[in-house]
Chains A and B, each alone.
Chain A
Amino acid sequence: IAGITQAPTSQILAAGRRMTLRCTQDMRHNAMYWYRQDLGLGLRLIHYSNTAGTTGKGEVPDGYSVSRANTDDFPLTLASAVPSQTSVYFCASSEVLDTGELFFGEGSRLTVL
């Protein structure tokens, strides 16, 4: 089934540890995004990528980094996790950047203790 795959689904992490959330899409979409979703808040954009080889900062980029080595993969790395990064992380893609029709992965629930 075409779509976006995220891994892991859920993870508990000690503060200070490094963590990479994986995201792969098979729709050949140019644009990819990482959002975090917290209770009572709207989705907030962390980082995005317009096309392979380019990335940009979203609304809440601090403490996170991304790379886009190819069209399909867009990993999100927390270099040194902090409790405030406890959240549900969604990867999404779209045919082109700035279209509002996004396709989301199933999410990665991260708890930082």
Chain B
Amino acid sequence: GQNIDQPTEMTATEGAIVQINCTYQTSGFNGLFWYQQHAGEAPTFLSYNVLDGLEEKGRFSSFLSRSKGYSYLLLKELQMKDSASYLCAVRDSNYQLIWGAGTKLIIKP
């Protein structure tokens, strides 16, 4: 079966750095995506990785290792507004998106 694993919840301090991990087992791989979802709101696209390595976009970076079936989302200089759920999704060999259950990130002052 296809599976995406993420921690259910994480807590971090304002101004700090946090890394949210995602491991996957899917039928093929055609890219990995990270979305942010604030409580009661729609998911919004954050990043896309298809090749190994780090993609940086402002305070957010996403890393991929295809051989390990592993990705992480790195958030720097945390702000209170970063409190949200972060969803990892993998596009499989049929180009279907397989979604993780999301990681709820709590930022404390």
Contact = CB atoms under 8 A, between A and B. Distances in A.
Nearest to B100: A42
Contacts of A45: 96-97
A100 B33 contact: yes
Contacts of B101: 40-42
Contacts of B33: 100-101
**Interface range on chain B (Cβ under 8 Å from partner):** 20 to 34
B97 A104 contact: no
A97 B96 CA distance: 9
B87 A98 contact: no
Interface of A: 40-45, 90, 97-98, 100-107
30 contacts: A40-B101, A41-B101, A42-B4, A42-B87, A42-B98, A42-B99, A42-B100, A42-B101, A42-B102, A43-B87, A43-B97, A45-B96, A45-B97, A90-B43, A98-B91, A98-B96, A100-B31, A100-B48, A100-B89, A100-B97, A101-B33, A102-B43, A102-B45, A102-B97, A103-B45, A104-B42, A104-B43, A104-B44, A107-B40, A107-B41
